[in-house]
Each structure stands twice: as structure tokens, then as C-alpha cells.
Amino acid sequence: MEEKNATGELEQQQQELTFECPKCGGKAIYEHEVNYENIYVFENGEIEIGDDRWESEKVKYSCGECSWTIVDEDNCIIRDEPSLIRWLRKEPKIARDERGEDHGEVKWESDQQYDIPYLQPGQLRFVCPNCGGEQLDAGYYTATYVFDQDGFVEYPKTYGGDYKHFRCNACRWIVEDEEYGQFNDPEILVPWLKANCDQNRD
């Protein structure tokens, strides 16, 4: 007797899906995410990734050829895979309030509380002006090739991207500067940490 598990069925359904970009006819889709990683910043401007804990937030999907952002029938940006699959199948979308608040945001996050690491030589300390948290995260954009003419690709390839912003890991306050506002330039981070976190002052 033939048995089908949920995964087998899903794979079969996905194989039938095709994408054709309405702008250029492209057949591939990129998934864009913002990834967050804990960082340590040093006086000389170097940034070190703190640990293997990371968090990811889906931002959008786009055509792999022309970068057209995939939007649904109401011109809303599609941000999660179930919605993308429905859109590829030309099924009506499910209203946000029916899906539940958290739907559309996929996160991987450790439930472990990491100790604040000892300061290494030349390392600048971060103290969140909002909550006193001491872990600084860098958020950066990545684009992953997730779909081609045969459907979802098995081993997506991710391309690192530009920084989006820096934030406090504890309260998600986004680091902002009086002059620049929220910034994504690591070079602004060093003077900011020196000017705004008391422990770094001489």
C-alpha cells in the first residue's frame, strides 16, 4: 500500500508550480531577508560576529532577473512562503487577521540567554540607551535564490548583503545618531559607541 507523508505531498504540489515574471518573463525568484547577528565592535573599526545565534526576518520576494518585487492582487508585498505558494497557484490570499499576528515572519532564535562576553582588547562596549542591554546586533540584507523554472530549489544559495541597521538585542531599539539618524555604516558605529556608551570614555 502506498503511503504519502505530508512532506511528500508538499513536494509534489510544489513541483507543479511555475513562475513567470509579469515584467520580464523571468523564471527565478529571490527571497530577501534581514539577518541579525550579535557583533563585537573594536576601536580600529573591525567587527567580529559574536556567536552562532542569529535571527532572520523575511522581507520580500523578487524576480531573479529584473528584481521586480512580487506583490499580491491587492498590491501588497508577499513576505512568506505559504503566501508565495498561494500566489503561484493563483489562489486567493488569506487576510492577515485570519492568519494570526505572527504569520509571515519566520524566526529562528535561540531561547538561551547568552552571557555578556568579557571585553577583548580594543573592544568597545555597547550599552543600550533604551534598556541597558549590552548585546549589539547587526542586521543585514541577504538575497537567496529559492525558485527556478523547475520550482523550489533544493539548496538555495545566499548572497550576503549590505547592512540595514544596528540594534539592541534585548529591546530591538535601533541605534541612531543625532546627525545621521538610523545608520548602516559600520564606520559611524565606532564614534557612536565612544560618544554614547559611558564605559568607552576615557
Q: Give least dist CB 162 to Zn ion, A.
A: 22
Q: Does 26 bind Zn ion (CB under 5 A)?
A: yes
One of 106, 170, 174, 188 touching Zn ion (CB under 5 A): 170
One of 49, 94, 116, 171 touching Zn ion (CB under 5 A): 171
Q: Does 21 bind Zn ion (CB under 5 A)?
A: yes
Q: What letter does residue 132 receive in the DSSP assignment?
A: -
Q: Does 94 bind Zn ion (CB under 5 A)?
A: no
Q: Does 78 bind Zn ion (CB under 5 A)?
A: no
Contact set for Zn ion, span 29-68 (CB under 5 A): 63, 65-66, 68
How far apart CA 33 and CA 79 sit, in angstroms, is: 9
93-108: buried (b, 16+ CB within 10 Å) or exposed (e) per residue? beeeeeeeeeebeeee
Contact set for Zn ion, span 111-140 (CB under 5 A): 128, 130-131, 133
Burial of 59 (0-12, 13-18, 19+ CB in 10 A): middle
Q: Which residues bind Zn ion (CB under 5 A)?
A: 21, 23-24, 26, 63, 65-66, 68, 128, 130-131, 133, 168, 170-171, 173
